[in-house]
């Protein structure tokens, strides 16, 4: 009877533990559905990035050419095409809609969460994997980039799969299982290269090579499934590179030399060497209090494994691999002069796993964690008090329109702060409270972004005009380029005194009618054809004196002007000059009385 009771109790305990993991997993995935997918269609595209990465796939669908990417109808070889293909596929299925464009990074973010859970379970245990997914999900940079249709989210997904599969292959014992994991890694590496180029190879070589060196396991180099792996890699990577090179003889020089190596020393987006080191911890926002002790503990454990490479082949080895993963991404991109925050996204899955391991250990029993949670709670409560004065310092957005978002933000900060204070008395709730405080801020973010789109971007203007615009109307921009104009209007934009990233494409063939120089060129267009022009507010005093273009719509950063032929064809009514006031400004296209 006693044995049955013990067994029964043991089974009940095990069942309860499994239930807890299942419920936690469901909770994380349900929250991911909220943070990643809700509201993707609630605001127009945000230029320049969202407009660019929506317009290239749109032009692919329009032309039927999926080999040579084009932006504003000129060749655009900044990146490989996989992200464009995925986005074009989404638009082909669901239509030319904002949410169809944003669906691709959202799905990539969701799949990355699943990979983090699986890798955490393999390296540590199931609960650690779920905790790592929760940390990643409620960190600022990963969540924002899961809603932003740029290449980095998909790139990070494939890199996470590449490195995770490689490590599982390294750890696998049966030869066939090891070869299978390595082949999966090679395939994912090919997909990463097709997403963002040879940076994937450099990062993978640095991380895998660094790990092998630290483990002094030179024989492992012979087990990497080189023959089938390279064949799989080639099947994924070679066909497009071969086809695009055949169609475009100058492709390789621009794609390899200019876009990969020249960017290492380019002054475009130049930042100091330490930029990513400083930004990386704060990209986790509310988790930053856990970041530094978790990083310190992980580095100590990794160093111990390096000192005794044959002693530990358990969790310590996994920690070493994750530490090299983080250092490899941050280190390699820090060597480049050109630095953009999304570049370091691939480091966050590994950091989330290291922090989850730290949290799942004895960290919650330490006084430093309690102090960190208490300080964070106080900061949230203080932020709620100073939020209004901080927002009032800006003048681009209407305070009246921002007020509901501010109230939601204050409520989220206060509730998050209170939840963290309560968790101090129930320490195991601290990780939940930290992440949930971030979730509480999501409604405010969802309300602010549409206001930003209205007051600072141009997509809403085109959507408010007759759809479609009459075919005779041409669209131009003077001294700027907002890519979303082509996406919404379905036509090419004439750029005057602006070329930027289209310099290479504009030199391939004759595009002289679409790349003009000098204000006289714009004046002639305004006389000759029905014309809609996007300008910056600073250019309006000069344009007004031409007496050929009148305001169609305006916001804090853009003024759209049209000539008489434009207003006649659209039936819209111009705004008087007196309506153009200092920001915050919002004048939507208006119909005739």
Give 374-427 pLDDT, tens digit per residue. Answer: 999 999 999 999 998 988 888 889 998 899 999 999 999 999 999 999 999 888
141 shares a domain with 27: yes
> Which CA distances in Å does 147 have to 36, 84, 85, 107?
6, 16, 18, 9
* Other residues' Cβ atoms within 10 Å of the Cβ of residue 49: 17
Q: Is 206 exposed, middle or buried (0-12, 13-18, 19+ CB in 10 A)?
A: middle
Beta bridge partners of 74: 71
Q: Note the maximum CA span of the chain.
A: 99
Q: What is the pLDDT of residue 270?
A: 72
448 shares a domain with 340: no
Among residues 36, 35, 34, the alpha carbon closest in space to that of 106 is found at 36
With respect to residue 451, please indicate whether it lies within any of the assigned structural domains. yes
Tokens of 471: 């075919």
Residues 228-254 as b or e (16 or more Cβ within 10 Å = b)? ebeebbeebbeebbeebeeebeebeeb
> Which CA distances in Å does 140 have to 153, 284, 338, 570?
13, 5, 22, 43
- From CA 335, how far away is CA 337, in angstroms rounded? 7
Residue 156 and residue 346 in contact, taking contact as beta carbons nearer than 8 Å: yes
Tokens of 563: 């000539």
With respect to residue 68, please indicate whether it lies within any of the assigned structural domains. no
- From CA 232, how far away is CA 224, in angstroms rounded? 13
Among residues 435, 417, 406, 407, the alpha carbon closest in space to that of 381 is found at 417
With respect to residue 245, please indicate whether it lies within any of the assigned structural domains. yes
With respect to residue 63, please indicate whether it lies within any of the assigned structural domains. no
476 shares a domain with 327: no
233 shares a domain with 339: yes
Beta bridge partners of 561: 533, 551
Q: Where are the beta strands (DSSP E) in 63-158?
A: 70-71, 74-75
Last residue of a domain, one of 409, 439, 456: 456
Number of structural domains (the chain) is 3
475 shares a domain with 355: no
With respect to residue 65, please indicate whether it lies within any of the assigned structural domains. no
At residue 555, what are phi and psi to the nearest 5 degrees?
-145, -165
465 shares a domain with 451: no
Write the DSSP symbol of residue 535: E
Tokens of 289: 């209090």
> Which CA distances in Å does 446 have to 5, 34, 41, 49, 413?
53, 11, 11, 19, 15
Q: What is the pLDDT of residue 265?
A: 59
84 shares a domain with 233: yes
- From CA 557, how far away is CA 494, in angstroms rounded? 19
Name the CA radius of gyration of the chain, rounded. 27
With respect to residue 66, please indicate whether it lies within any of the assigned structural domains. no
- Transcribe 501-529 into DSSP letters: GGHHHHTSS--TTTEE-SHHHHHHHHHHS
Tens digit of pLDDT at every position of the chain (593 positions): 333 344 444 444 444 667 888 999 999 999 999 999 999 999 999 999 999 999 999 999 999 999 999 999 999 999 999 999 999 999 999 999 999 999 999 999 999 999 999 999 999 999 999 999 999 999 999 999 999 999 999 999 999 999 999 999 999 988 899 999 999 999 999 999 999 999 999 999 999 999 999 999 999 999 999 999 999 999 999 999 999 999 998 888 888 877 766 666 565 667 888 999 999 999 999 999 899 999 999 999 999 999 876 665 678 999 999 999 999 999 999 998 888 999 999 999 999 999 999 988 766 767 778 888 899 999 999 999 999 898 888 888 999 889 999 999 999 999 999 999 999 988 889 999 999 999 999 999 999 999 999 999 999 999 999 989 999 999 999 999 999 999 999 999 999 999 988 999 999 999 999 999 999 999 999 999 999 999 999 999 999 999 999 999 999 999 999 999 999 999 999 999 999 999 999 999 998 65
Range of the domain at 369: 364-456
134 shares a domain with 13: yes
- From CA 35, how far away is CA 140, in angstroms rounded? 11
> Which CA distances in Å does 192 have to 185, 224, 270, 521?
10, 18, 24, 43
What region does 547 belong to: left with phi over 0, alpha with psi -120 to 50, or beta?
left
Q: Is the peptide bond before 48 cis (omega within 30 degrees of 0)?
A: yes
Among residues 193, 72, 195, the alpha carbon closest in space to that of 503 is found at 72
With respect to residue 149, please indicate whether it lies within any of the assigned structural domains. yes
Last residue of a domain, one of 404, 437, 456: 456
85 shares a domain with 149: yes
424 shares a domain with 396: yes
Cα angle value 382/387/392 (rounded, 5°) = 145
Q: What is the pLDDT of residue 5?
A: 40
22 shares a domain with 171: yes
- From CA 267, how far away is CA 588, in angstroms rounded? 38
With respect to residue 143, please indicate whether it lies within any of the assigned structural domains. yes
Q: What is the pLDDT of residue 154?
A: 98
Kindly report the three-state secondary structure assignment for every residue of 246-284.
Answer: HHCCCHHHHHHHHHHHHHHCCCCCECCCCHHHHHHHHCC
Last residue of a domain, one of 456, 474, 497: 456
349 shares a domain with 422: no
Tell how strand 550-555 and strand 559-562 pair up.
Answer: antiparallel
């Amino acid at each position: 009877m006693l044995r049955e009771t013990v067994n029964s109790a043991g089974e009940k305990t095990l069942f309860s533990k499994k239930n807890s993991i299942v419920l936690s997993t469901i909770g994380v995935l349900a929250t991911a559905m909220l943070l990643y997918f809700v509201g993707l269609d609630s605001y127009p595209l945000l230029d320049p990035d969202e407009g660019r990465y929506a317009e290239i796939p749109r032009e692919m669908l329009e032309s039927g050419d999926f080999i040579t990417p084009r932006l504003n109808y000129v060749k655009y070889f900044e990146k490989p095409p996989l992200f464009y293909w995925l986005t074009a596929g989404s638009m082909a299925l669901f239509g030319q809609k904002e949410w169809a464009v944003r669906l691709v990074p959202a799905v990539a973010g969701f799949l990355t969460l699943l990979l983090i859970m699986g890798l955490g379970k393999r390296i540590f245990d199931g609960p650690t994997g779920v905790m790592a997914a929760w940390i990643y999900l409620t960190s600022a940079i990963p969540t924002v980039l899961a809603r932003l249709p740029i290449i980095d989210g998909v790139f990070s997904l494939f890199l996470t799969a590449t490195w995770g599969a490689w490590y599982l292959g390294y750890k696998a014992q049966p030869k066939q299982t090891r070869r299978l994991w390595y082949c999966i890694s090679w395939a994912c590496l090919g997909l990463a290269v097709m997403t963002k180029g040879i940076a994937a190879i450099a990062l993978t070589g640095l991380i895998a090579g660094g790990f092998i060196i630290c483990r002094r396991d030179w024989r492992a180099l012979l087990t990497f499934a080189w023959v089938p792996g390279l064949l799989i890699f080639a099947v994924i990577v070679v066909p497009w590179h071969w086809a695009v090179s055949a169609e475009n003889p100058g492709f390789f020089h621009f794609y390899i030399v200019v876009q990969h190596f020249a960017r290492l020393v380019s002054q475009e987006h130049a930042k100091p060497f330490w930029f990513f080191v400083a930004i990386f911890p704060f990209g986790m926002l509310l988790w930053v209090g856990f970041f530094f002790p978790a990083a310190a503990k992980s580095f100590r454990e990794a160093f111990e494994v390096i000192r005794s490479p044959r002693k530990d082949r358990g969790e310590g080895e996994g920690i070493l691999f994750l530490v090299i993963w983080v250092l490899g991404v941050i280190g390699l991109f820090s060597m480049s002069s050109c630095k953009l925050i999304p570049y370091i996204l691939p480091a966050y899955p590994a950091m989330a796993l290291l922090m989850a391991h730290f949290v799942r250990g004895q960290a919650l029993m330490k006084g430093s964690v309690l102090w960190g949670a208490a300080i964070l709670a106080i900061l949230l409560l203080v932020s709620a008090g100073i939020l209004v004065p901080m927002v009032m310092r800006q003048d681009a957005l209407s305070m009246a329109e921002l007020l509901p978002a501010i109230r939601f933000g204050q409520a989220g900060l206060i509730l998050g702060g209170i939840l963290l204070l309560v968790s101090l008395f129930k320490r195991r709730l601290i990780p939940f409270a930290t992440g949930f405080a971030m979730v509480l801020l999501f409604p405010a973010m969802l309300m602010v972004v549409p206001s930003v789109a209205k007051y600072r971007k141009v997509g809403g203007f085109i959507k408010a005009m007759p759809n479609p615009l009459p075919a005779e109307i041409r669209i131009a921009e003077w001294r700027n380029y907002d890519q979303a104009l082509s996406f919404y209007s379905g036509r090419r934009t004439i750029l005057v005194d602006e070329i930027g990233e289209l310099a290479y494409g504009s030199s391939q063939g004759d595009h002289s009618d679409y790349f003009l120089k000098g204000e006289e060129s714009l004046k002639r267009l305004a006389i000759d054809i029905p014309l809609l022009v996007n300008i910056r507010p600073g250019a309006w005093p000069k344009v007004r004196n031409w007496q050929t273009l009148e305001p169609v719509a305006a916001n804090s950063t853009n003024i759209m002007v049209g000539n008489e032929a434009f207003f006649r064809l659209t039936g819209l009514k111009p705004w008087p000059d007196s309506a153009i006031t200092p920001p915050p400004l919002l004048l939507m296209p208006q119909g005739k009385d």
